Structure formats: C-alpha cells, structure tokens
Structure 1
Amino acid sequence: MYRTLLPGILAMAAIVVASNILVQFLFGQWLTWGAFTYPLAFLVTDVMNRVYGPAQARKVVLAGFVVGIACSFVGTQIQGEFGPLVTLRIALGSGLAFLTAQLLDVAVFDRLREGRWWRAPLTSTLIGSSVDTVLFFTIAFSSWLAVLEPGNDVAWANEALPLLGVGPVAPLWMSLALADWGVKLALALVALVPFRLIVGRLMARVA
C-alpha cells in the first residue's frame, strides 16, 4: 500500500513546498503566486480518498502536514526585510488551517462518496477551502489574536481599506483572505476535470 500512496505523498509534498516558496511573490495587489498552487492539495487529497479510501487519504494529509512544519521551520530561520519570513502566527495559522481543512475535506468527501461523481470532490473542497482561509488569515493576521505573538507587529495587515479596493472599509487582511478564497473556489471547479481523469486512470490500474 505504501507504493500506491507514494505518488500522492510526493505530489502533496511538492505542492506544500512550492506554495511555501511562491507565497513570497506577489500576484497583483491581493494575491501571491502561492494562492494558485496550494488549492491543488485538495485535489490530491480527494483523488487519494476516491481511489484508496479515507484512511489512506489521511496518511497523505499527515505527510503534507509534516512537510509544512519543516517548511515553516526553515522559514523562521531566514531573515527577510522585516524579520523572519515565517512568524510564529503564520506557522500556527498555516499548520492548523492545513490539518483542519484537509481532514475536514476527507470526512466530508467520505460522507458524500456514494453520490454523483462531482458532488463529493466539489463539496468537500469548497468546505475545506473556506475553513482553511478563515483559520489561516484570522490566526496569522487579525489584531484580535495579537496575544499569540505580542512581538509580531501586524498593523500593516489591519490597516483599514476598502474591501478589495471597492467594498466597505475593512482590515487589509480581510481583502487578502477574500481574494485567496475566490481563487480557491475557482480552482475547485477547474480541478474537477483533472480529478475525473486521474481517478479514472488510477481506478483502472487498481481494478
């Protein structure tokens, strides 16, 4: 079974590492390039869940979580212009958001696996992505949780600005979260195509 999971583990690890690197590079005003790679983690989880079941999908998630912890540790050792590339709050937010959202994705998918082929991956990814976004941005940047890391100045993320430049005034981190969430929702729909193709090929091999 380990050999069958290895491609999923490697894919998840590659996505986590790539996202941790690409999150340092801006894409427009509200996003980073990491926003376009990280949602693929849900695709990997859902494919493994469909083909091998929830228990094996959780193993892939845990492997990704371990890789994420390693990436966060490395990031804390690298000094950027404003301090460590990864702060304690970012590390906590990233780890908790990933583990909670991915395990929730596995559970929701399993509950819906007997429905139409697209229902389980789409619903589980939408729910998991939403939880992931809320947890990460709230833990990492909101002024409400400053007690988690008093020495980390997140005033920049709490600057009051129009939401996405056009909406009501809100902290900057909410615009960042909303833009990130929008990308995740869009990719949840796009990912149905590779999900269908990859699952079809893997199921044929298993059979």
Structure 2
Amino acid sequence: MNRTHIPGILAMAAIVVASNILVQFLFGQWLTWGAFTYPLAFLVTDVMNRVYGAGPARKVVIAGFIVGVICSLIGTQIMGEFGPLVTLRIAIGSGLAFLVAQLSDVAIFDRLRAGKWWRAPLASTLVGSSLDTAIFFTVAFSGALTFLEPANDVSWAAEALPLLGVGPIVPLWVSLGVADWLVKLALALVALVPFRMIVGAMTAKTT
C-alpha cells in the first residue's frame, strides 16, 4: 500500500470509531452526536478520489468498513441498559449502509470528475448519504425486517408520531432517518469548503 494513502485510511478509521462512540449520545429528540461526525467519511473518500483516484479511495472505504465491523463486534459485547449496545440488525444495517453508500460515492465521483470541481463531490455525497440513511434505518428498525433478528424488540421504533414532530403520522424510525438525512445533506454542502482547501493543499504538495 502506498504510504501517501495512510493519512486517508487513518482519517476514515478515526471517523468510524468516533461515530460509533458518539452515536450512543443523544442530540435533541431525533439525532445523536454521531450524526455530525459520520458524514465526514464522505469528505475523506472524495478527497482521496480527487487526489489519488478511485482505486485508492476504494481501499480507504474497505479500511473503514473493516474498522466498522470491529467496532460492531466490540459493541455486541458491551451491555447497556436495554441489552447489547450493538444488535445484529444494527451491525448488519451499519456495515451494509457504509459499504453500499461509500462505494456508490466513489463510482459517482469518478464518473463526474471531469466536470466542475464541486459537481463530483456534491452529487456523489448526496446520493451516497441518501443510500446510507435509507439502508441503515430500514435494516435496523423497520418492522418488515423483524425476521433478521426475531429476539430483538424494535417495536419502540414503530411508534406512530408526527414526522419530526410536525408532519404526517409515520413510524418513529422514519423521523429518525429523515433527521439524519437532513444533517447529511447540510454537511454535504458545508464540506465543499474543506474539500476545496484540502485538495488544493494536497495537490500543491505533489506538484
């Protein structure tokens, strides 16, 4: 592995570990603190893709996936108030969402890399973030997928409530997913600034 890729791998690993820890702490009614750190994974992937190409970016994604699996395995062994901190459904949803979303991000970015500088990171992150949220919350909490882990009672997530407290009546997990998705979309726009700066700095070093 090229030594120049190590900072990207370490950054991705740090984000995954931090997000797995911070997801245990609530931020308001609909979010956890992990919602604000995890989207930075897309920034790391996009920077690696722009500077080094799709291949190295995929290596960073795989490294992040492996770290995520390790975090999930550790979480299944830590007992919280209502059982293990990480259930089988959460572990499956988290790993599947990360892998699909990040690899989709890499593919979309690579397809759009020849356009204006902001188009590839913005489009790839928006699509990747949407996939990530949809896959994770559906797998982890939807009543339709109870068969994945019958012993895990997620009936609390099906409680019918107004969407984000003000919209139509939906299951609680849908509000949680929408709130998470909105944060990702907002950070996708904000991340364009550090993306531009980091890419510029890294490119200058290699020229």
> When the two structures are superposed, what TM-score results if normalisation uses the length of structure 2?
0.99
SS in 1 for 2:173: helix
What RMSD in Å do the two structures reach over aligned CA positions?
Answer: 0.5
Task: State the partner residue of 2:23.
Answer: 23
SS in 1 for 2:161: strand
Task: State the partner residue of 1:39.
Answer: 39
- Size of the aligned set, in residue pairs, is 207
Task: State the partner residue of 2:60.
Answer: 60
Q: Which amino acid is 1:177 matched to?
A: G
Q: Which amino acid is 1:64 matched to?
A: G
SS in 1 for 2:150: coil
Q: Deviation per CA, 1:106-156, whole angstroms, max 9, x where unpaired?
A: 000000000000000000000000000000000000000000000000001
Shift of 1:2: 2.1
Runs of 4 or more, structure 1, over 4 Å off, are none
Q: Which amino acid is 1:125 matched to?
A: T
Shift of 1:204: 1.0
Partner Cα separation in structure 2 for residue 60 and residue 138 of structure 1: 25
Task: State the partner residue of 2:176.
Answer: 176
Question: Gaps spanning 5+ residues in structure 1: where?
Answer: none
Task: State the partner residue of 1:135.
Answer: 135
Partner Cα separation in structure 2 for residue 2 and residue 156 of structure 1: 47
Q: Which amino acid is 2:93 matched to?
A: G
Partner Cα separation in structure 1 for residue 2 and residue 19 of structure 2: 25
> When the two structures are superposed, what TM-score results if normalisation uses the length of structure 1?
0.99
Question: Gaps spanning 5+ residues in structure 2: where?
Answer: none
Q: Where do residues 1-207 of structure 1 align in structure 2 (5 Å cutoff)?
A: 2-207=2-207
Q: Deviation per CA, 1:28-69, whole angstroms, max 9, x where unpaired?
A: 000000000000000000000000000000000000000000
